Structure 1
């Protein structure tokens, strides 16, 4: 063990304990190899035969023995110091290690009683791994104690920091793989130590596991010098402790000393926080350098295995088509762990080894924080109706929808400050997204120096901001997975940065919902603003409404998408989302001053339905409509209503029905999504034969996709964003994408031949208006007065 400039006391394990811990580690390694290879003969009571081996060998060995080593040593310090600890397995395929660890401690059998602590249970444990109908090779939701699957690399450290926020007694041991450490999100996450409050938050103990290789390449951090590596992490603000080698006895001693030192440092940081000295704490971390595939085959057919990339997955092919001697190599490998010294005749771990594991909820697989729904408490929410804006008539002036919702969120923070179970996350956009009123109740949490003219920074804030969407998403996911509530606010165009993170979380929710022992957690709530239609100074780079297309791909039981048209609707939707569990709720709303359409009573009714006819804008109450004018989103709603006002003024004989969609999944069939309309209800709204002109916030084809098998789909004509945009006026954005009021009216005329000559003349007038508009904005740099000052009138 090495640690430059750190005096780690010599603290070798007592010989008896060292031998027992080494045996426990051997047992975990034995179980791990068994999971990779065997489906029978789990204790090798008879010579190994091909029929004992799985027909398909799937899984990963390389990271596993190092993680078994870590898990064994963490058990010791949990018992020694009575730690409240959970384990996050960052390397992509560490499943065998976490399954082995939770099985040896007894948690796995408690959760899955058929995986018994005997020979038959071992057979089932081995067979199910990477097997049809079994479990995956990651630390998946099926694995007790897991809050992080690890299949996609980069988020273990962010998840870990999210988990300890507002959990002052929790310690998260986060194993970071050296391949994972090359990802951008993980590299960013090392800076999370600048945001942790030692008094109100828990502790993350990162363990960087350097085993040298990825799938087939060396890793960067494993190939730089010891000095450079230490300087890197000291530069990040950490106190690195090195444990390096491959000789088991010495490595056990060094790891034990390193962990004792780390616990001592953590206690010192906590103490210093109560007696501040003006210094930012340097939290400890461990850098463990051990061979990839440690304790496995050294070499096969002249190819180096242990300590090489070839140990990454299945290091030894065993099958009818593989060399016959491979079966003997596998048997010798498994017997090298001396299972007869680890398990009794019935297949149960020996009592003296069982005693090394923590007890009860101190076991990492049984810790309630790793099944966060067990700890989840409802938010205390103020009555959102108290924040309503006054709408005496449709089209009233508005302050900005997110600005209004900010007052509600401010008081959500106030109501839950004592419980410390609600936070807002965002990449330096809370002010830009016009939610800054929340800073009347809280601050941004920040544990680095604060300069004289900084704003809203404090050690104990409830807002987490760092200019990394990955980091904010990871923090929030970790916060939710350990039983708390939160909201992520982000620019609409840049939420795509976390597309794959959203994927993994949605998959986690889906998989965990199918497990009776997993409790539901609070929903992942994402508020998207600074939307595609209002990028007057940012232009084309900030225009992309496609995240909702991505969300729609996920299981209907998990995802929800809301597009409230005004502030009162946003308040109603936000209250609903904050009360919900086990969903991903995506809410798209504007932040700029805009017309308000519904009073609070109307908004609640409309949002509860999710879709509805707006009576005040429709004139088809006594006859079938000639055309349906539909909208979803705040700007599309404005343009549809402006188009309707033109039509009703110039073509008063037309019967028009106006439909607004808040809940996007209302468009889908009820057989496909629980929020979807039945065919009967859908046809009553949209008719079966009349043209539907639909102004949509996002890409038009999403509406076509959701309605593709509806009766009237052939008459569905959607206008939305089609990748046209620049730095221009807000109205010109709609013109460039042909979703403006003038194009919408012309679309109606084109589809209703009964408008005759009146329609032809109106269409030409509108074409002239578009020319006038272009000349006006080029000359004056702003929209025409009739656009800026437009008011709704029937």
Structure 2
């Protein structure tokens, strides 16, 4: 990766006219970028700058912006010359002034925001709104035309770019990777995406590593390592890097144009060999390394301190711009771009600037893939009812629910082989979804061995042991209008907490942007969950992602806890058809009881919450107690507790309420799925004790129900951070969500049981001791636990005294 010395600048790449045009467009974008950071008046400098022309609070990032503008200008030249379908993903997202300036120069900004016109008044509004109350953020954001990438957090540019390129064979995604961003874990893993792209059916990603040397105050690692070491690193990731390095604009334009042309030629040749000649060997994809000064073209120094090429250029190079001395520097800086050559007397881009960008949807700021909603093709969905598990008696059977879901997803995949993918960190088989491999393979373009399992370049199951990369790929795929599912072990989905945050913020913001169309929902399937991670132990036991999810605004998040296979099928069908949400489905993969036939499951999931009459004994009368449950294991333990209670107290009036849609518990004023007060009171009463067995941390149920009339009578049991390597039932016992503790809680909460509960309570305590002794002797749960199924009440096990009348004494 040897750079050509500036004294030996490439010749012939650009004509004098092309060079002048590129440099003029770059100067115009830089002028508009500086104006956004600093100005709120006098946008064309028709008069000397006065203090009131400068914003009182200066916010934004200048350092990376001129590099982003430089790259944008050159990509536009290539798009026009080659008629390319190209997107621009900006990893250094805090360079927000750049893509905003580009969209304004291309006319797209005025098309989507008609009040930001291409004239002096529009330029003034463009400047004033930037990082200003009621305006737009300082980074690349949903408000920025052409963006699919929120720039508030670093690390996701490459994975988003590859997600956009999958199944888009004519698309080239130029992904600018900042050298600060390159230090993040998510970005480091996403270089391996080269092993998952298929040049026959996918588009291409052209990474452009932008080395400008500094973060906020520190140097960047990749800028400070030897050139040979950087070259070896990038080649090791599967790229052929081309270095463009320098400071002098004429040389840099020629060198970068030559590098870009070479890269695009190599991409075209890779795709030609794959598509025409059937070449299947993994190619070495080109990439560009651009080393340019931080804050390029800005002030060389301010107050005797170096700015251009130093960390001081990272954000706002000087902040006292209303003061006479700094205001003079600002005016000189702005005039150095020669705005009188770039804009006509009305303030519109001059003709020679206006003609330098592509037309229509070839503009990167107007590329349809950057606004994926209009491109969506609805999934062709098989009828989920055809995959139903027969349920003749509720609470019986022994079915792996996610394995049933896998057969449904297999046929979703079969019917949508260019618009649907599955993503998982090496867990598709583990999570019992392996049926999809009957119709496709795992995507893999690296070396294979004879005993490998379902690996092929054209596979559609995306597996890499990086939750960040899976999430980034899926986000890029969804944002460009396609569909997918991310399955993951529940405990480790926390790894993408921050990525989830950013995506929900994107969805919330785009809900208020008219020209942004809804995109397919991000669907998480969390299995291998807390209650059946007994074999892996404490490290794998954490249901807290749900708590993180419900912190977000109600208009974008949904949480589902289907208790069996038929409810899981119904929920999955609904989520795959939905738009503009993050759907979290938590479902176990181990063999479990089945409760509802398909007709009942559809009714139950449609309501999201309901009384299970077949498990309740309060028909026509007021209940003594309500037993609520949400989640597959809590549901089973609740039903087992009901059976124990009815063995001892046959006339106890119990109501069982099962929750599939967790947000039904919240007040309807807080979440659109929330129950009206009267409906909630009808289910849970206004004064009776409610014992609620919940899949996750108990306090979440209290958070969701705190406004309810009967909240003070809610007693929630769930995971309380007690875990180890043990048996499945012992996990429940450790957290006191087991059937014996639930039954004792009911006895203690129902007043008329107090005087007649001594023997039942003693029996239940003995069962807990018996359980502990049994598992430590045999290493497995007692047979009465492992073989339990729902059945009519019978005399209590263990020689108890038999039923006790609860009639009033």
TM-score range with shorter-chain normalisation?
A: over 0.9
Q: What is aligned with 1:291?
A: 293
Q: What is aligned with 1:431?
A: 429
Q: What is aligned with 1:47?
A: 48
Residues 10 and 254 in structure 2, CA contact (< 8 A), matched pair in contact too: no
Q: How does 1:164-563 map to 2 (within 5 A)?
A: 164-274=165-275, 275-276=277-278, 279-320=281-322, 322=323, 324-417=324-417, 420-563=418-561
For 1:699 and 1:85, locate their aligned partners in 2 and report how far apart those are by CA, in whole Å. Answer: 46
Q: What is aligned with 2:635?
A: 637
Report the alpha carbon displacement of residue 278 of structure 1 after superposing the two structures with TM.
5.7
Residues 85 and 367 in structure 1, CA contact (< 8 A), matched pair in contact too: yes
1:132 partnered with 2:133: yes
Report the alpha carbon displacement of residue 3 of structure 1 after superposing the two structures with TM.
5.5
Structure 1 stretches of 4+ with a deviation exceeding 3 A read: 1-4, 7-11, 276-279
User: 3-state DSSP class of the match of 2:699?
Assistant: helix
Report the alpha carbon displacement of residue 301 of structure 1 after superposing the two structures with TM.
1.0
Q: What is aligned with 2:798?
A: none
- When structure 1 is superposed on structure 2, of 113-122 and 747-756 the one drifting more is 747-756
Spell out, residue by residue over 1:738-792, the C-alpha distance to the aligned partner (whole angstroms, 9 max, x if none): 0000000000111113114432210110000000000000000110011011110
User: 3-state DSSP class of the match of 2:174?
Assistant: strand
Report the alpha carbon displacement of residue 606 of structure 1 after superposing the two structures with TM.
0.1
Report the alpha carbon displacement of residue 366 of structure 1 after superposing the two structures with TM.
0.5
Report the alpha carbon displacement of residue 139 of structure 1 after superposing the two structures with TM.
1.1
Report the alpha carbon displacement of residue 608 of structure 1 after superposing the two structures with TM.
0.2
1:666 partnered with 2:678: no
For 2:550 and 2:465, locate their aligned partners in 1 and report how far apart those are by CA, in whole Å. Answer: 27
For 2:679 and 2:542, locate their aligned partners in 1 and report how far apart those are by CA, in whole Å. Answer: 32
Spell out, residue by residue over 1:19-69, the C-alpha distance to the aligned partner (whole angstroms, 9 max, x if none): 111011000000000000001100000011011011111111000000000
Spell out, residue by residue over 1:246-273, the C-alpha distance to the aligned partner (whole angstroms, 9 max, x if none): 1000000001000000010001111221
Residues 629 and 657 in structure 1, CA contact (< 8 A), matched pair in contact too: yes
Q: What is aligned with 1:76?
A: 77
For 1:391 and 1:278, locate their aligned partners in 2 and report how far apart those are by CA, in whole Å. Answer: 48
Report the alpha carbon displacement of residue 577 of structure 1 after superposing the two structures with TM.
0.1
Question: Alpha carbons of 1:182 and 1:43: their partners in 2 closer, same or farther (altered >3 Å)?
Answer: same
Structure 2: gaps (5+ residues): 793-809
Q: How does 1:128-167 map to 2 (within 5 A)?
A: 128-167=129-168
Spell out, residue by residue over 1:726-745, the C-alpha distance to the aligned partner (whole angstroms, 9 max, x if none): 11110000000000000000
Q: How does 1:78-117 map to 2 (within 5 A)?
A: 78-117=79-118
For 1:317 and 1:702, locate their aligned partners in 2 and report how far apart those are by CA, in whole Å. Answer: 45
Report the alpha carbon displacement of residue 11 of structure 1 after superposing the two structures with TM.
4.0
Residues 185 and 471 in structure 1, CA contact (< 8 A), matched pair in contact too: yes
For 2:196 and 2:70, locate their aligned partners in 1 and report how far apart those are by CA, in whole Å. Answer: 30
Report the alpha carbon displacement of residue 119 of structure 1 after superposing the two structures with TM.
0.5
For 2:22 and 2:9, locate their aligned partners in 1 and report how far apart those are by CA, in whole Å. Answer: 21
Report the TM-score, using the length of structure 2 for normalisation.
0.96
For 2:12 and 2:447, locate their aligned partners in 1 and report how far apart those are by CA, in whole Å. Answer: 36
Spell out, residue by residue over 1:69-101, the C-alpha distance to the aligned partner (whole angstroms, 9 max, x if none): 000000000001111001111113011000011
Report the alpha carbon displacement of residue 396 of structure 1 after superposing the two structures with TM.
2.2
For 1:501 and 1:450, locate their aligned partners in 2 and report how far apart those are by CA, in whole Å. Answer: 32
For 1:55 and 1:312, locate their aligned partners in 2 and report how far apart those are by CA, in whole Å. Answer: 19
Report the alpha carbon displacement of residue 10 of structure 1 after superposing the two structures with TM.
5.1
CA RMSD of the aligned region, Å? 1.2
Q: Number of aligned pairs?
A: 788
Q: What is aligned with 1:600?
A: 598
Q: How does 1:612-761 map to 2 (within 5 A)?
A: 612-761=610-759
Residues 556 and 674 in structure 1, CA contact (< 8 A), matched pair in contact too: yes
For 1:502 and 1:319, locate their aligned partners in 2 and report how far apart those are by CA, in whole Å. Answer: 38
User: 3-state DSSP class of the match of 1:399?
Assistant: strand
Residues 494 and 542 in structure 1, CA contact (< 8 A), matched pair in contact too: yes
Structure 1: gaps (5+ residues): none
Report the alpha carbon displacement of residue 8 of structure 1 after superposing the two structures with TM.
12
